[in-house]
Structure 1
């Protein structure tokens, strides 16, 4: 059985690592975790931005031109 790690798996690990890093920095230094966790979360925010807007989950721009189909909901 071969386990493959994809790009989005690494992004999720990066977000988790940034939050753990912020907590560890707050626990191991004199700086409050109320400051270090949100500051380290900026790394996670940057990863999310890069993943969604710069490397979005589409193969090409032609994927973006497909229209969404309306569905009938039961009343």
Structure 2
């Protein structure tokens, strides 16, 4: 069985890669590590926001009103 990449796999990979890139930039360039990681964190926030609000995990807004059976 082969694994197929889903959109949210790429979101998680994007968050991880942005944070690693920020740490590497901070470690190996003249940019302060705190600055590089902060900027990378902002990029991660943009990636997460896209995953939540632009390409959200629901098919339609009406799906948000479905009751959660496991909590009843």
TM over 0.5: yes
| 2:8 alignment partner in structure 1 | 8
Give the equivalent residue in structure 1 for 2:51: 51
Moved runs in structure 1, 4+ residues, more than 6 A? none
Unaligned runs of 5+ in 2: none
Bigger helix fraction: 2
> What RMSD over aligned residues (CA atoms) do the two structures have, in Å?
1.5
- Count how many residue pairs are aligned between Structure 1 and Structure 2: 71
Structure 1 unaligned residues grouped into runs of 5+: none
Rg larger in structure: 1
Deviations 1:20-55 (A, max 9, x none): 110111111011111100111111000111111111
